[in-house]
Amino acid sequence: MDMKSLVQGTDYPRTKESLIKDMQSLGVRKGMVLLVHSSLKSIGWVNGGAKTVILALMETVTDEGTILFQAHSADLSDPSEWGNPAIPESWWETVRQTMPPFDPKTTSTYNLGKIPEQFRTFPGVLRSCHPSVSVSAWGKDAEYITSNHSLDYGFGQQSPLAKACKLNASVLFIGTGFDSHTSFHLAETLSGVRKHITKGAPVAVNGEQMWKTYSEIDYDDEDFERIGNDFKKETEILEGKIGSAPSLLFNQKDSVDFAVDWLKRYKSN
């Protein structure tokens, strides 16, 4: 959506104050551990853009709580897996050997939108050290959540998502849906229904760049929207709008537990 269309489709300018009011009306509270999935354009025209949304979240949750965003860098991956676009096989080894290693301070997020990308650069925001599926966090529990992120099984029991579950985190969708609900990947890991695979990424070890392989499961988000729709039928979910964005607020662990049971019921071999 271009800027002209965005302005024309917005009934009043979104400001930090209006967004705080919307967040509070939905149920976002001071002291929450809040995992956010967001679409900036869905909110309408925001005075200050992504920065304003982040400031509104921080002032609503405060530093007595914790805010998390995905900070994935899926482009730091084995070129043999790339399909959009694919590159010639003759390039693969050169790409592996020369791809810049993951750096939590300088590696950009990939295909997540403007809000997560700007959030990771904010003062006080910490980022976990996984080359593909890192998480950025700010607030009271940011250090605990982002520390010791396991390279193997990046959405597993030694992941920021699992730690957020232990802290009774809530999930906030701002203009997004269950098709991108990353916590369902934690459910995939816990359910044991997916096959195990090996992946690779560039990392720095003692200052030296190297290509590191690690264990993962073969994640598949094809059923996420269906799982989410079934979850909504059985669980209390708060619904409202933040700006123009249809928004949902719900308990992360409830969604993970539901998805584990769903996957075991419908996807076990």
Report yes or no: 143 and 83 within 8 Å, Cβ to Cβ: no
Name the burial class of residue 146, with classes exposed (0-12), middle (13-18) and buried (19+) by CB atoms within 10 angstroms of its CB. Answer: buried
Distance, CA of 16 to CA of 28 (rounded, Å):
15
The residues pairing with 36 across neighbouring beta strands, listed in sequence order, are: 69, 172
Residue 163, CA distances (Å) to 26, 68, 97, 158 in order: 24, 11, 33, 7
| Residuewise pLDDT in 10s, the chain (269 residues) | 688 888 888 888 999 999 999 999 999 999 999 999 999 999 999 999 999 999 999 999 999 999 999 999 999 999 999 988 899 999 999 999 999 999 999 999 999 999 999 999 999 999 999 999 999 999 999 999 999 999 999 999 999 999 999 999 999 999 999 999 999 999 999 999 999 999 999 999 888 889 999 999 999 999 999 999 999 999 989 999 999 999 999 999 999 999 999 999 998 86
Amino acid identity of residue 170, one-letter, is S
Distances (CA, A) of 174 to 29, 138, 146: 15, 18, 23
